[in-house]
């Protein structure tokens, strides 16, 4: 099996740009090769594909467990290797993949079948009488939809994402055109979908590669708001301005009504619109824990007091080591022990930890008023030896409010609500990894970033269940490929 080709096909499938031939090729690989199906599970690709967000692992016994102190354990893909019914869970996911691949997955096939968009998500959606009840994951043909209340998110086959806030009435015209009859929406249009158009009772709004919002009253009066990029607004005959194009840039807006001779210039207001969810990767120091990458200062046993560096316990970076190969790049972590190098074993802590602080203030300023969720992930591997102790790989994400400084004091206070330095949100995501050095398991922690949050603390750690400090072992566990992403906008919950 060509592993590089498999990665290319999985990425293309995730981005909905497979050709008919590529779809058949991927289906053949997944059917014929167990390792290809395992790679599908490891990538978590199902979680990023609209309409295929399943939680098969929860169905088979890997639910989240709430614990005192706002600590949440969120078992992730690592459970596939050891929980009961793991094989059934993988089979269930594979079935979903095969089902989705049987649906229109490329523009060519979608055109042939007549589909123009997918209902990617809904939130408290109430449909008007005459509109059939729709569910996340359904493909849609040209039609008129009326939403009494709630929100929906549409992914057009050409690539545009559109969020609609009820009450609203829309018409899906084609995979690159829709009509807003009343209500409000916003669109996020990538480069490949430039030209996406929203018609209103008084105008035509044509995207030039941007993020914009459109609002239409019951009388047909229309406002266009540009948040990023550019759009062209062309009033139609109803506005007595046929053929005159107004180009709007970022932060600009235009108000137009029936019979109105002169459009009114307004200031764009993104807070007035639902936004399609945008996934933004955030760079981390010591990229991928690669050897010699900057941003590394582990070994002092404490969280850093500055941004842009990993610090913590006795943890080293290594290349290929004891039959374990880095998940990616040139290096990975090996957990050697708690506290500093050279500490007596009898004084070993219960966990070997690494910490990093992220300054949220630049992101908060950029996305003011939007809902933001942080997702922090890392991959773990371990080997089994006669001296191994029972360990639990964990990733942690926690946010802190104004006035809190990076350092040990904030870490110690994060789980204590009565402490003024406690975390605004916190998630400990713990897995039980297997002892097969050929496989890696992923843990992901998710936290909501409140408007007042200014700091984000990330931690990669291994916790020991052994009671006697001298008997605790951490050096059979490895970690690699940490990633941080922000989900920005009015995120639409999807079935997972």
- Token pair of 438 as six digits: 């050929």
pLDDT reported for residue 28: 76
Mean pLDDT, all residues of the chain: 81
| Alpha carbons 339 and 492: distance in angstroms, whole number | 42
What DSSP designation does 27 have?
H
| Alpha carbons 420 and 299: distance in angstroms, whole number | 29
Bridge partners of 185, per DSSP, are 164, 214
81 has a pLDDT exceeding 70: no
Q: Poorest-confidence range of 4-13, 174-183, 229-238?
A: 4-13
Q: How confident is the model at residue 465 (pLDDT cuts 50, 70, 90)?
A: confident
| Alpha carbons 47 and 487: distance in angstroms, whole number | 13
pLDDT reported for residue 241: 60
Q: Is 211 exposed, middle or buried (0-12, 13-18, 19+ CB in 10 A)?
A: buried
pLDDT digits (tens, 9 = 90+) for 285-335: 998 999 999 999 988 888 999 999 999 999 999 999 999 999 999 999 999
Is residue 214 within a helix (H) or strand (E), and if so which, with residue range? Answer: strand 211-216
Residue ranges, comma separated, of all CATH 2.60.120.260 domains in the chain are 279-488
| Alpha carbons 113 and 74: distance in angstroms, whole number | 39
pTM score of the predicted model: 0.66
Tallying the residues shown for the chain, one arrives at: 496
415 has a pLDDT exceeding 60: yes
Residues 6 or more apart from 385 whose CB is under 8 A from it?
476
pLDDT digits (tens, 9 = 90+) for 217-230: 999 999 999 999 99
Q: What's the number of CA atoms in the CB half-sphere (13 Å) around residue 174?
A: 11
User: What topology is assigned to 279-488 in CATH?
Assistant: Jelly Rolls (2.60.120)
User: What topology is assigned to 114-276 in CATH?
Assistant: Jelly Rolls (2.60.120)
Q: How far is CA 409 from the centre of its chain?
A: 30
Residue ranges, comma separated, of all CATH 2.60.120.1440 domains in the chain are 114-276
Bridge partners of 380, per DSSP, are 441, 479
Compute the average pLDDT of residues 8-31.
71
- Residue 276, classed as helix, strand or coil, is coil
139 has a pLDDT exceeding 60: yes
Neighbours of 322 (CB within 10 A): 12
pLDDT reported for residue 488: 87
- Torsion, CA 289, CA 292, CA 295, CA 297, rounded to 10: 90
Compute the average pLDDT of residues 132-151.
92
């Amino acid at each position: 099996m060509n592993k590089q080709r498999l990665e290319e096909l999985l990425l293309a499938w995730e981005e909905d740009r497979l050709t008919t031939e590529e779809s058949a090729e991927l289906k053949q690989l997944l059917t014929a090769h167990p390792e290809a199906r395992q790679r599908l599970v490891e990538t978590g690709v199902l979680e990023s594909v609209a309409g295929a967000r399943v939680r098969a692992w929860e169905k088979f016994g890997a639910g989240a467990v709430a614990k005192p102190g706002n600590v949440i354990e969120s078992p992730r893909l690592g459970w596939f290797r050891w929980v009961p019914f793991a094989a059934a869970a993988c089979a269930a996911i594979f079935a979903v993949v095969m089902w989705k691949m049987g649906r229109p997955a490329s523009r060519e096939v979608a055109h042939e079948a007549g589909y123009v968009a997918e209902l990617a998500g809904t939130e408290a959606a109430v449909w008007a009488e005459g509109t059939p009840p729709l569910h996340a994951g359904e493909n849609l043909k040209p039609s008129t939809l009326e939403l009494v209340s709630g929100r929906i998110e549409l992914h057009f086959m050409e690539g545009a994402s559109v969020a609609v806030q009820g009450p609203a009435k829309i018409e899906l015209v084609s995979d690159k055109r829709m009509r807003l009859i009343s209500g409000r929406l916003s669109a996020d249009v990538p480069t490949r979908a430039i030209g996406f158009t929203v018609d209103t009772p008084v105008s035509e709004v044509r995207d030039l590669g941007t993020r914009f919002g459109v609002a239409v009253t019951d009388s047909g009066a229309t406002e266009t708001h540009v948040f990023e990029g550019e759009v062209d607004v062309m009033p139609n005959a109803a506005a007595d301005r046929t053929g005159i194009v107004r180009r709007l840039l970022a932060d600009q807006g235009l108000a137009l009504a029936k019979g109105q001779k002169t459009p009114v210039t307004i200031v764009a207001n993104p807070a007035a619109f639902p936004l399609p969810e945008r996934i933004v990767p955030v760079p981390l120091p010591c990229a991928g824990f690669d050897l010699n990458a900057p941003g590394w200062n582990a070994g002092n046993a404490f969280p850093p007091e500055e941004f842009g560096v990993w610090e913590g316990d006795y943890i080293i970076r290594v290349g290929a080591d004891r039959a374990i190969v880095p998940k990616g790049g040139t290096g990975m972590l090996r957990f050697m022990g708690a506290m500093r190098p050279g500490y007596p074993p009898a004084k070993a802590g219960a966990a070997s930890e690494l910490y990093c602080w992220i300054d949220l203030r630049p992101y908060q300023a950029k996305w003011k008023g939007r809902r933001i969720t942080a997702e922090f992930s890392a991959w773990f591997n371990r080997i089994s030896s006669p001296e191994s102790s029972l360990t639990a790989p964990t990733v942690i994400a926690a946010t802190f409010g104004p006035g809190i400084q990076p350092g040990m004091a904030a870490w110690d206070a994060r789980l204590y609500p009565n402490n003024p330095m406690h975390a605004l949100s916190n998630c400990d995501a713990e897995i039980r990894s297997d002892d097969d050095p050929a496989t890696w398991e992923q843990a992901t922690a998710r936290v909501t970033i409140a408007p007042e949050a200014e700091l984000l603390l990330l931690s990669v750690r291994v916790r020991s269940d052994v009671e006697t400090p001298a008997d605790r072992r951490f050096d059979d566990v490895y970690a690699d490929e940490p990633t941080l992403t922000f989900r920005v906008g009015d995120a639409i919950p999807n079935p997972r």
